[in-house]
């Protein structure tokens, strides 16, 4: 009688466990899906958002994690670039520093006074290069009685020429605060002068990079989008956050039910196993 009752309960729990497992085996995990995203892009594709043109420079898919016994997961991401045609640039030139303008190197002579409004650019004469170009001149200067001299060898004779006479006088150019000059191919404005430095500013194109993560937000212009990568080659951008949140809640609910079914299956099979074991235990009476 004891074994017959146990068999009935064992069969009941096996049926319950099998039914739960069959639901797990046939259930399909819901996935995020956007029917009409604002943008569906691939690597190398150019698109327009507002008044700005963007370019998808890359989409990557890499396995991350997996250390210390944990499973690795697939991480997808993308890169978007755009060019700001009128980006602001600034530079600071310290006193006695050098800058290159129109293929010529200049020494910055910036006044220390806080109320200064002008500064000077003095040509940086490359004495070493001039000496190397002169076949009759030695490559190094010599100092005689505290004066630097250039050694000239001509017709077997050696003579000294003062460096101040040998090298050309450096050119100088003066600039005022608010004035302009051509720097790195750009029309550059002298914004401030004084304190031993000169501040200049200009506008020029600048390429900017935006890193896009899966299910992360990305702002293009004045619009924020949700980025989603349905596969390793495609990036979708949508501003339908409500749809995304609803699908995310649905997936979370599915996993909650899935975990419950796993619990029912495992508990049912364990109960059936212990019932069989207890039913065949030898009786003491």
In the block, tokens 């004045």 appear at 222
- CA-CA distance, 138 to 159, in Å (whole number)? 11
What are all long-range contacts of 144-150, with beta carbons under 8 Å and residues at least 24 apart?
none
Contact 241, 32 (CB under 8 A): no
- CA-CA distance, 21 to 213, in Å (whole number)? 35
C-alpha distances out from residue 274 to 1, 63, 88, 260, 282, Å = 17, 42, 76, 21, 14
Give me the residues of the chain with pLDDT under 50, please. Answer: 1, 285
- CA-CA distance, 103 to 129, in Å (whole number)? 15
Could you tell me if residue 146 is left (phi over 0), alpha (psi between -120 and 50 degrees) or otherwise beta? Answer: left
Burial class (CB in 10 A: 0-12, 13-18, 19+), 212: buried
Helix axes 241-279, 2-26, angle to 10 degrees: 160
- With a pLDDT cut of 70, the percent of the chain lying above it is 75
Record the tokens describing residue 277, joined without a space.
Answer: 């074991």
pTM tops 0.75, yes or no: no
Contact 106, 100 (CB under 8 A): yes
In the block, tokens 């991350």 appear at 64
- CA-CA distance, 111 to 119, in Å (whole number)? 7
What is the pLDDT at residue 69?
59
What is the pLDDT at residue 167?
87
Contact 175, 118 (CB under 8 A): yes
What is the pLDDT at residue 60?
94
What is the pLDDT at residue 1?
41
Average pLDDT of the chain, as a whole number:
83
**What is 152-189 written as a DSSP string?**
EEETTEEEEEEHHHHSPPPPEEEEETT-EEEETTEEEE
Helix (H) or strand (E) segment spanning residue 248: helix 241-279
CA–CA–CA angle 270, 276, 279 (5° rounding): 135
């Amino acid at each position: 009688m004891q074994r017959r009752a146990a068999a009935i309960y064992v069969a009941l729990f096996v049926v319950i466990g099998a039914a739960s497992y069959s639901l797990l085996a046939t259930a399909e995990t819901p996935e995020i899906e956007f029917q009409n995203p604002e943008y569906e892009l691939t690597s190398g594709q150019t698109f327009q958002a507002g008044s700005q043109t963007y370019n998808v420079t890359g989409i990557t898919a890499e396995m991350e994690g997996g250390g210390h016994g944990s499973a690795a997961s697939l991480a997808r991401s993308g890169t978007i670039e755009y060019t700001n045609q009128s980006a602001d640039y600034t530079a600071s030139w310290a006193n006695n520093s050098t800058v290159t303008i129109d293929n010529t190197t200049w020494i910055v002579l910036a006044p220390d006074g806080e109320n200064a409004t002008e500064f000077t650019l003095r040509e940086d004469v490359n004495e070493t290069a001039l000496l190397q170009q002169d076949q009759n001149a030695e490559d190094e200067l010599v100092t005689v009685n505290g004066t630097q001299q250039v050694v000239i060898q001509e017709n077997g004779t050696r003579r000294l020429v003062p460096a101040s006479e040998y090298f050309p006088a450096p050119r100088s150019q003066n600039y005022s605060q608010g004035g302009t000059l051509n720097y790195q191919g750009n029309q550059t404005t002298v914004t401030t002068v004084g304190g031993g430095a000169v501040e200049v500013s200009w506008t020029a194109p600048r390429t900017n990079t935006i890193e896009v993560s899966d299910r992360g937000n990305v702002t293009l212009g004045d619009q924020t989008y949700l980025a989603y990568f349905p596969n390793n080659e495609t990036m979708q951008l949508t501003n339908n956050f409500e749809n995304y949140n609803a699908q995310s809640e649905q997936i979370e609910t599915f996993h909650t039910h899935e975990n419950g079914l796993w619990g029912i299956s495992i508990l049912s099979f364990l109960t059936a196993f212990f019932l069989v074991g207890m039913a065949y235990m030898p009786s003491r009476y």
